[in-house]
Structure 1
């Protein structure tokens, strides 16, 4: 992605941008010429050159202040990448009402709060730079494929997918495009912590990789490349789209690998 400066003169805010997918997105946007702010609980891990802002997406006032600060210090806001989220493991029997409320508050309402406060800035930018204004949200393959032990997480990401489509319809005539990416299992710090809790981390990593037809985990940089495409002026006609970056999980149905007979 180096050498392409299609975000020159544009500014972007990335939530959850200090680690994993968000940090990869922020770095990619910076490399393409964008001015970038990162909103995170702990922004110290933000890529060099990004403005780090500490905020919790479950706190509406903190989100409003963070978005307004980003818009002021960056000289406007053209791109919102709503990436902050959390994971959850278990069936519908395994998580309490409080845990459901916590995860939905972060994964769904966190995006609602961020978009709510970003929209006035995005509308102003759309009037000045038609085709260059967008919201891209991090969804998941869990929104479209049934995964075991992911009931709460899948429900939250299903809501993100529907939210993306509704927002795209609401704001298309304002010149604001809204899309999402649907990653498969991505090699992030959260997955690392999950593997660390497994009885056999090596076997569990192999199992996670094997369920993706490509046979490996998706990298954060691969997801970031998809986000940058959806946010870029090159996708000025793309809105209401969910772009899968999942190693083929959603669309491919391969035959099991046959074990050679001795």
Structure 2
């Protein structure tokens, strides 16, 4: 074998091995990050009539980035395909207005009845507590077997308009113990996430974020145009009345 060919193959072989090791490490990191933001619990009613397995995921910026990378790796996506997935995910989560969680329940034995489900959930940030702004309504129906869905909380305080995550060190999601027979004796379930090192700004780059910003700007423009039209209608009504008043003044002065 020609010596140049030999060394070329050696170099390419080493490069390929390095890439495979890097990809493997990337996958491990993604898995670790995904687990970091997920909480799991299992509860059983004391007589064994009902068991409830719970898995709760907080959609932090770090979790979303790891999820996108993990899906791209598994599906061998191109960069554009990855950006399209990220765009769809972020649009669904509506993170510029909401704080999103995914709940996965598995109920065996006696079915679980939790209507209205949102009454059983409370988000604590600092000394304040918040109720869900939206949730998967399927949680309101009889749950036997697996049921999963999203739960969202308002991102901005309704009184101050401030981003409730700004400056927060952690968030605590509480599920009432009365939600099921399996959790009644145990009491409320509390999950805590340290968000002090999470960086939401990490989501602010790429085509997906550009498309989301464009969507928001288009909606904002539509609202501003609607507001302007409403104001223009009021101005037209005032101009008409001013014209009528002026005409009457002229008529009275002419007598």
Normalised by the length of structure 1, the TM-score is: 0.20
Larger strand percent: 2
Normalised by the length of structure 2, the TM-score is: 0.20
Larger helix percent: 2
